[in-house]
Amino acid sequence: MTRVYIIETPYHLLICATKTILEKRMGKDVVLLYKQNFSSTTIKRLKTIFKEVLCFNLIENFIGLLNLKLRQKKIPLLPFFIRQNHNINEKWLKNKEVFIFNDNDYYGCFLNFMKKDYNLIEDGLNCFSSDLEAYVRKHRHKLYLLLGFSWDSFGESKFTKTIEVNDISKMRIKYPNSIEMNRDQLFKSLSDNDVDTIAYAFNYQPLLFSPKGDYSLLLTQPLSEDGYVSHSKKIEIYQYLAEKYAVGTLYVKAHPREKEDYSKILPNAVILNNNKIPFELYQLKEKFHFKRAISTFTTAMDSIFCADEKIQMGVEWTRNF
């Protein structure tokens, strides 16, 4: 049976590409991805791993929600529905196994509306052990509720067949069909050739110098984009963290959804320029070793094994800075 992976972030892509390669399913499955988060080169190269690559964007999702609402009210569909989302409908889904990382967005609503069973994969690392999921759900659904939408998500839908998580013992939501798939072990199962295949898809370029020793790593988050603090406050926070906690040369890995030019904000730092590459891939390709890894808050910190010390400030510290 063909699998369909519905993904939004580079990290999602890393997970499903890894699973596809390890389970020897290259060329058999379909990936449906959020176009804005990936380069055109990556989208093209993914055809070396997947049978088909489809893209969606924010406008298609918004119009899709409106159409679902109209269908619920038995009102004719909007005539300008963009490409019918590649004709992804009940017939197209019938003989496919669906895997989704975020079932609180349009496609989660779509799957529930169609009464299509799906497999939920943890969005980030240990997300189901974090109250951030509840925060995201609460605020994102405000718009949907205004439109008259409401559906169960984050593993609470009756159409969720399984939930795959990194650490089942830390789950905030208990679900009978939970599957533990340790991400660290998953990545370590990849051969060097497997890693090269994934790196090629991401258009990975080797670093000229790989830090080893008294260096620091700063992992940034889209703090202002997600409404935690203002844009100016976000810049102040990262300048503060760099000055207060960085040891030796500071390396900066920006979050994929950020558009900041950190070379201007932190002029003495080394910026890992391609922010659409998950840091996990850097760890697989480079022999990193940092004295410190620093962040405001991110589940990605749990996946870092190349730092002697990890410093996280927390959500409340960030909001109250």
> Quick check: 121 and 164 in contact, CB under 8 A?
yes
* Interacting residues of 209 by C-beta distance below 8 A, sequence separation 6+: none
Residue type, 276: K
* Interacting residues of 74 by C-beta distance below 8 A, sequence separation 6+: none
Residue type, 118: Y
pLDDT in tens, 123-151: 888 777 765 555 555 555 566 666 666 78
Decide if pLDDT at 114 tops 80: yes
pLDDT score recorded for residue 83: 45
Decide if pLDDT at 85 tops 70: no
Percent above pLDDT 70 for the chain: 86
pLDDT score recorded for residue 253: 93
pLDDT-based confidence at residue 82 (cuts at 50, 70, 90): very low
pLDDT score recorded for residue 147: 64
pLDDT score recorded for residue 305: 85
What average pLDDT does range 229-249 have in this prediction? 95
> Quick check: 43 and 21 in contact, CB under 8 A?
no
pLDDT score recorded for residue 143: 61
